Structure 1
Amino acid sequence: MTNLKSGLGKSLATGSSWAAIVAGLTLIAIPAQAQTAPSVQPEQPQDTESEGVEDIVVTAQRRSESIQQVPVAVTAFSAEDMQRANIRDVGSYFASTPNVFITDSPIRSGNNVSDSALGLAIRGISNVGGNGSSFGIYLDDFNISHIALNPHLLDMERIEVLRGPQGTYFGRNASAGVMSLSTARPSTSGVSGQIDAMFGSFNTAEVSGAINVPLSSTVAIRAAAKWEGSDGEFRNKHPIGGGNGRDYKAARLSLRATPTDQLTIDLSYNYTREHDDDFGLINTGVLGSFIKSICPGVTFTCPVDKNLGFYPDNRRNYAHDAPLKVDNEYHIAVGRIQWEGETVGVTSITGFGSAKFHRAGELDFSSKDFLREGFNDNTRQSLSEELRVQSVGSGPFKWTIGGVIARDKIRNGELISAGKENDIGLPEGFVIELSHFSQAISSKAVFAEASYDFTDALSLTLGGRYSHDTIERFEDQIEFGGPLDKVAGKKSFEDFSPRAVLKYKVSQDVNLYASASKGWKSGGFQLDPQRARSDFGAETLWNYEIGMKSTWFDRKLRANLALFYIDWKDVQVSSGVVGVDSSGAIINFAGISNAASASSKGVELELVAAPIRGLELGFNLGYMDAKFGKFVDARTNFGKIDLSGKPLPKAPDWTISGFAQYSVPVSGTMSAFLRGEYFYTSDAYTNVNNIAAVATGQPVFPFRINAYDKVNLRLGIETDTYRISAYVENLFDAKYYTSSFDFGFANGAAVIPSLRRWGLRGSYKF
């Protein structure tokens, strides 16, 4: 049952406000400039042993650079950052990134129970509809967003979250931004490794490890593996409905060869197998319009499971009369060959990924046998080759040119049938929907970017990417006992996306930049065998940004600021409406159209401070005003309504986070640490249907996600070789949820409550 998908942005400031902010940036920078000589000196390597905020090297522009030198709004986490903050998945590091919102998911990846209720938004931009993603997830420079939405963070070296369109280097899947995951590379320096173990609440356990083994002076391999199991956070009170546990396995094998000083070859293979028992959704008792329309004609009373209570009074119990099994498996292989001469470097990246998803069983999420899912099988493949040629060295002129060819395939089949207690006149096993579709997207792109330093302080970067996508799609379907129909189609789209950046180095420690960049997502067509073909065009956005990267007080404070305005045109909006027609027959309408425009304006502030030895402080603030522009004919479960000017889904006005960590020596080799973390997110909506619900007078709960905050606490001891820590997440057991599933059924809309979790973790390095 397809639901609305959405995500856009709000509004921040008038023109005069922007002028004031620009003036403020200039005033902030003047004192630093006054302390330096008129001619800015070349960068000097930092003393990493001295006190101060640790620098992070990123590859946001396909070159290794200090995060403070890159004119891009990027939040980065080193391996040490991830360990200290207990970052284990996508949601963990997005929580510490300003103006990023991610909804809790019943499962880690693959097809979820309701596409519209899950997802990610960066600066208010998200997957509202269409064939492709609005954001890219890259594993060692290979785009895996078609394969795995939430990959396991296994033996990582660094994570980068790039906000805003990154089309020049990352292509069509980068309108909102990019998550770049870099794994630890094999080393010939010696045998080394690490073992980690965790046990926590809900009988959750995890074991992981990595080992590095040199095979010769030029070849080394590295292996890593992880297992996680849990009984699950939620409890099924039905005697035969199964549990809520999970079992995850992941492994990686990588090889690095350096046959010459100029040539580096990296090969890696990643395997993941995930098994989930049920989603464990907790119902609210708030009925959707569809279930309200059919409940008067059935023998049971809606909602049916009142005896369990509803959220928020009930946060853990549900009643499902049949098990639901979810399996997801994916394989990712990446080959990278890099040759670097004195003036020119060449990089080749070849990637292949495949994924297999299966779901079957309970579908009405109640104690009644109302709906069944016979199967939902999904297979996906991605193959790409990227070749880059770029300048090497630190001269005033730097350039990069390259090209990419890629092909993404997906095949899906689903069977939904009526249960024996459907009570709406359908015989048991009646086929409500039997459908199959296959789609292939072939992409070709060429890109180039060049930067020139006019002076030691002033530089200009210009770049662009030309893309060409061809989409082929086939679909067949039986809907509510109708005939089997088949349809097929093919269409191509092309685009040129430019980028321009002006950077000014006020001093050695203060950089200002201004940029304009375009994001693009190709159009497509929707095939519905029961109705006509529906084409939709490409969507585009322009991101205008000014920012400052700065360090102060002998590197004891890092302060980065970005202000942005996004103009989003021809937004691809998916509509999914379930209801009853005039003759009493159940209908399910789904379609995609370029139905809306949107804008997002905001500010992002990131501070990290190390004022004294042993103490580190961090603070992130994101504010945005993200809203629909023109959206007069939104097709929703609450009718066809005007949502112009309404807030965008997954776009809270405020996202705030902070941490404080203090370490104190216990002995010559041991120290103890205490770390506290705080997170705040203001009101938001999950999807267009939920916005429409409130706009048409439905109850605010649960359609609006209310503002929430939470506190995490960690403490432990560590040496150079081991670390033992204890943690509590959501220390004060705040009652909140980040996604609302509006499809309803006999118990009303559902949520995934956040609960307090605790754990003990130990690690040993050798």
Structure 2
Amino acid sequence: MSLASILAGIAAGVPVGEALAQATAQQAAAPSQEGGATAVAVIEDVQVTSSEAAGEKLLEKVLTKTPRSGNVVSERALEEQQVDTFTDISRRVAGYRPNISTARQSRNSLRGVGVAAGGGTGSASETGYIVDNVYWNFAGFQWGDLIDLSSVELAMGPTGTAGGKNTNAGSVILHTQAPAFEPKTMVKSTFGNYNHFKQTINTTGPLIEDALAYRFAAYLDRGDGWIKDPHTGTTYLDTNRLGLHFQLLGVGDGWSDRVSFIYNASNEHNDYLTGTIGDTSLVYANGTLPSATFFQNVIKKLGKPIWTIDPNTPYLSRGGRDPAHIFMLSNELNYQIGENMLTAITAVGYGSFVNWGYSDNQLLQLGLGSGSMDTYVLQNSQELRLSSPKEQEFEWTTGLYGFYEYAWDRMHHYDYGVDTAAWLGNPAALPGLTPWWLNKSGDFQIAAYAQGTYHVDEKFSLTFGLRDSYEIRYSSNKFRPNYYFGVPYTVWQQEAAIVAGGGYGWSDSGGETKYHNGVTAIVNPQYQVNDNILVYGVVGRGDKPQSVNTQNRPFYINGAAQSFTQGFSRPEVSWDYELGAKTNWFDGALISNVNLYWNDLYDFQITQTKTYTSSAGVTTNVSYLGNAPHVRVRGIEFVERWTPFEGLTLNASGAYNEVRYVDYKESPSPTDWTFKGGPSTISLSNTRVTGLPWWQVNGGFNYEHRLGNILAGLGDWSDRPITGFVYSNASWFNKAQYTNPRSLVQYWQPAYVMLDAGLGLRTEDRKYSLTLWSKNLFNNRPWSSWTPGTSSAPTTVGISTQGPRTFGVTSSITF
């Protein structure tokens, strides 16, 4: 095997393992010399192109050759259109919702499903998150800016039979740029409104010629928040983060080894996610009203004024920063064994997410359910994969996968303040009383998988895969309030005050372990009708293990502890059916993909309610993480790309997504049905899952035009050809229902458009670039939720996770 060909493939942006596989396939296909002696294969060097080749190649592959639904945002779009976050990604590919909030609580979802509602650190997601072949389970590992990427890929449908960890809805896959043996450095600077400043550096080159290369990327991102507190002058939802990515790549004849270290950190005011828009607006389904509204209680109990009903103008008394630190270390070894490739992927990650902020508004210090939590997560994974060469009659991959996660939550949802005693009418509710929740969850999986593709002839191929996963999950929950001594109130009086406020006294659920064996399988036929049309189908069975109920709390009746809720949900089974077509016309100038999907999820993991009865016959309703018997996800996805002439590219993608409860007879009753004597559960069977737009359609263009040496004479840097470019991308989101379908009062978030646009100049060799850009040009700020409040809470909305209108200038220099 030619080392030169491997290096050339890597320089062309081909992933290291694929570059080795290409060389192997060419070697295997080389003819033998006369006389039967095996010849040493003569391998032509792969053409060396720019570093954008990997992303553009993957885009073409996914849109024209891969027999599954998916989409790709390539490096060129990431760099030129200022795609810095997952929110930016969601405006360019339909069917993906990043649900960015805090470092701990972001919830990526494809086709409307992700982490179970009410799920915490012990909950697996329907949507996987993968960085360079490594699956990262906890949401916090997704925190940080997007840098050093060759592409972002969305792969739809059940996964896991070809490697990694199994998921039911699909995966968001980040491909980073590999180290290169050709020296190159890029420095990029951004200045924008809200005092935004971002500096990025990305440099690569050889350490040992033709043997060892490095890549180092780092960023610093600072900016004021767009939510301002008039009382303190603090801005919330600000940007204050940094990160780095360091890699080493060693190559030799028949092997490569790539080490990757990622560090992301932030220290931001990102806990203000719920804003007040008015007094309690709750009307119970029986026509009655709460005994008093929230504003009335504030004035009556505390004698304090109401400061705001504007969600963009909060008055917080205890808003703090939430520091986060994420470490991710991985190693991928590829080793040639005959014609086959052995891949060993080892990874370890650690995340620390500490929260100091509280969301009590109106300058109050109640501390009732307004705090957040501290989370610490350790993850390890090990994968061994053996793969055959590509482009053969039968291609196959088989392997073993091991995964371990340990998570510890130190939660403090209640932290009493100076107003709590008067609010509860209980002088033992002393400031600083905190019912700490010490929750632990563990997950261990060992799995074997195999996937093969049989090319029956030049037109028809059949892919089939099977995975068996054995899972062990652990859960424990301790509740450890702090107590004061030397005060006029006993420990028991203080604990009673905590319970009266909705907290939990000293208690321990003990440890609990669950075991589960799950099977994942796919059958994926494809038929190449002609050079222009590929049709395919998918039948897949997915499996999701039971989730840990990290809020397995004690419950009380008349202040007396009864028991704990259940520690785990039941496992979830998915059956997915898809039919799609990928077409390309006019030598690839016009590409059109359409995919229909129907996904039945049985024992869908979601919040449930049970009614418990004390020995005295008194009942109470308790919510916990449980299961809905049957949820159906179905819809249509399409991706279009048209290049009518050189320099102009038009893009469009869309998704119609219907997520429906087929069978959910025991859903928790909405707030307006919780009147005295009302039902604890209510049927949502044959209703849509709320909070999701039915349609999302993205459309945009990118136009480039050579301008010649229009800046000649301004210096040595300017004496080179210039290209002008302009781009625009609009994402339309259909209206979304934010209230329970059974509620009498309904709220729908109206449809809205997020428009991003920019224009700029760059040299044709891409050494210099200058871009003027704007995101959310229409300044739309859609709410993410709506609640009518109660006597202890006002009417509130979820603060926009899309962000306000921003604009700025970005320059880059490559040398």
TM-score range, shorter chain: 0.7 to 0.9
- Decide which structure has the larger Cα Rg and report it: 2
Corresponding residue for residue 373 of structure 2: 376
Mean CA deviation greater in 269-278 or 443-452: 269-278
What per-residue deviation string (whole Å, max 9, x for no partner) do you get for residues 729-756 of structure 1? Answer: 2222234234457888644313224421
Change (3 A) 1:88 1:399: same
Aligned residue among 737, 741, 750 for 1:706? 750
Q: CA RMSD in A?
A: 3.2
- Give, in angstroms, the shift of residue 141 of structure 1: 0.9
C-alpha spacing 1:757/1:452, structure 2 compared with 1 (3 Å)? same
Asked if 1 retains the 8 angstrom alpha-carbon contact of 2:225 and 2:235, the reply is: no
- Name which of 628, 637, 643 aligns with 1:595: 628
State the secondary structure of the residue aligned to 1:83: helix
Query: What pairs up with 1:141-540 in 2 under 5 angstroms?
Result: 141-146=133-138, 147-169=140-162, 173-189=166-182, 191-217=183-209, 218-239=211-232, 245-258=238-251, 260-281=252-273, 282-285=275-278, 287=280, 295=293, 298-300=297-299, 307-310=307-310, 316-371=312-367, 376-415=373-412, 416-422=414-420, 423-426=423-426, 427-429=429-431, 431=433, 433-478=435-480, 480-481=498-499, 483-487=505-509, 488-524=511-547, 526=549, 527-530=552-555, 531-534=563-566, 535-540=568-573
| Residues in 2 aligned to 1:618 and 1:179: alpha-carbon distance in whole angstroms | 20
Give 1:429 deviation, angstroms.
2.4
Q: SS of 2:64's equivalent? A: coil
Superposed, which structure 2 residues align to 1:126-137 within 5 Å?
A: 126-129=114-117, 131-137=123-129
Is 1:722 the counterpart of 2:768? The answer is: yes
Cα 1:46–1:222 shift into 2, 3 Å: closer
Distance 1:82 1:691, change over 3 A: same
Q: Cα distance 1:409–1:586, how it changes in 2: closer, same or farther (>3 A)?
A: farther
C-alpha deviation, 1:244, in angstroms: 5.1
Higher RCO (C-alpha under 8 Å, 6+ residues apart):
1
Worse overlay, 202-211 or 633-642: 633-642
Decide whether aligned partners of structure 1 residues 393 and 631 sit closer, same or farther in structure 2, where only a CA change above 3 A counts. closer
User: Displacement, 1:306?
Assistant: 5.3
Q: What is the CA distance between 1:231 and its match in structure 2? A: 1.2
User: TM-score normalized by structure 2?
Assistant: 0.79
* Structure 1 residues 294 and 173: CA distance shift in structure 2, 3 A: farther
State which drifts further: 396-405 or 245-254. 245-254
Q: Which amino acid aligns with 2:425?
A: G
Tell me, in whole angstroms, the C-alpha distance in 1 between the residues paired with 2:66 and 2:291: 56
**Could you say which structure has the higher strand fraction?**
1
The residue identity in structure 2 corresponding to 1:532 is F
Tell me the CA shift for residue 680 of structure 1: 0.5
Post-superposition shift, 1:286? 5.6
Q: Secondary structure at the match of 1:96?
A: coil
Deviation at 1:646, TM superposition (A): 1.8
Mapped to 2, the partners of 1:522 and 1:365 lie a distance apart of 39
Instruction: Name the % identity.
Output: 19
- Corresponding residue for residue 34 of structure 2: none
Q: Which moved more, 1:123-132 or 1:159-168?
A: 123-132
Matched position secondary structure for 1:57: helix
Match for residue 633 of structure 1 among 666, 682, 706? 666
TM norm structure 1: 0.84
Structure 1 distance, partners of 2:163, 2:291, is 46
Q: What amino acid is aligned across from residue 177 of structure 1 in structure 2? A: G
Q: Partners in 2 of 1:211 and 1:742 — Cα distance?
A: 52
Between the aligned partners of 1:170 and 1:346, the Cα distance in structure 2 is: 13
SS at match of 2:194: helix
Count of residues paired in the alignment: 689
Quickly say closer, same or farther: Cα 1:547–1:230, change in 2 above 3 A.
same
- Maintained 8 Å contact 1:101/1:651: no
Displacement of 1:345: 0.7
1:610 aligns with 2:610: no
The structure-2 alpha-carbon separation of the partners of 1:92 and 1:408, relative to structure 1 and needing over 3 Å to count, comes to same
Task: Name the CA shift for 1:157/1:601 in 2 (closer, same or farther; >3 Å).
Answer: same
Mapped partners of 2:604, 2:281: distance in 1 = 26
Select between 72-81 and 247-256 the one with higher mean Cα deviation: 72-81
C-alpha contact (below 8 Å) 1:551/1:558 kept by paired residues: yes
Q: Contact between 1:236 and 1:280, CA under 8 Å: does it hold in 2?
A: no
- Judged with a 3 Å threshold, the aligned counterparts in structure 2 of structure 1 residues 173 and 395 are, in CA distance, closer, same or farther, namely closer
Aligned to 1:749: 796
Q: One-letter code of the match for 1:672?
A: G
Shift in alpha-carbon separation, 1:723–1:145, aligned structure 2, 3 A: farther
- Cα distance in structure 2, aligned partners of 1:183 and 1:706: 37
- Show CA shifts across 1:556-603 (max 9, x none): 11111111111111111124899xx9x9x9999441212241112211
How far 1:54 sits from its partner (Å)?
11
What is the rounded CA distance, in whole Å, between the counterparts of 2:571 and 2:165 in structure 1? 11
2:135·2:165 contact (CA, 8 Å) conserved in 1?
no
CA distance 1:292–1:103, change in 2 (3 Å): farther
Could you say which residue in structure 2 is the equivalent of 1:124?
A: 112
Q: Distance in 2 between matches of 1:279 and 1:231?
A: 15
- Contact in 2 for aligned 1:124/1:650 (Cα 8 Å): no
1:603–1:87 CA distance, 2 compared to 1 (3 A): same
Per-residue CA deviation, residues 494-546 of structure 1 (Å, 9 max, x unaligned), is 11111001111112232111111122110145443442352431111111111
Change (3 A) 1:187 1:310: same
Corresponding residue for 1:683?
735
Q: How much does 1:150 deviate?
A: 3.6
Task: State the 1:433 CA deviation.
Answer: 3.2
Unpaired segments of 5 or more residues in structure 2?
Answer: 1-44, 481-494, 556-562, 675-680, 710-720
Distance 2:292 2:523 in 1: 56
SS in 1 for 2:811: strand
- The change in CA–CA distance for 1:494 and 1:671 in structure 2 (over 3 A counts) is same
Equivalences for residues 56-75 of structure 1 within 5 A: 56-58=56-58, 67-75=63-71
Using the TM superposition, name which of 146-155 and 714-723 deviates more.
146-155
Q: How many angstroms apart in 1 are the aligned matches of 2:324 and 2:777? A: 32
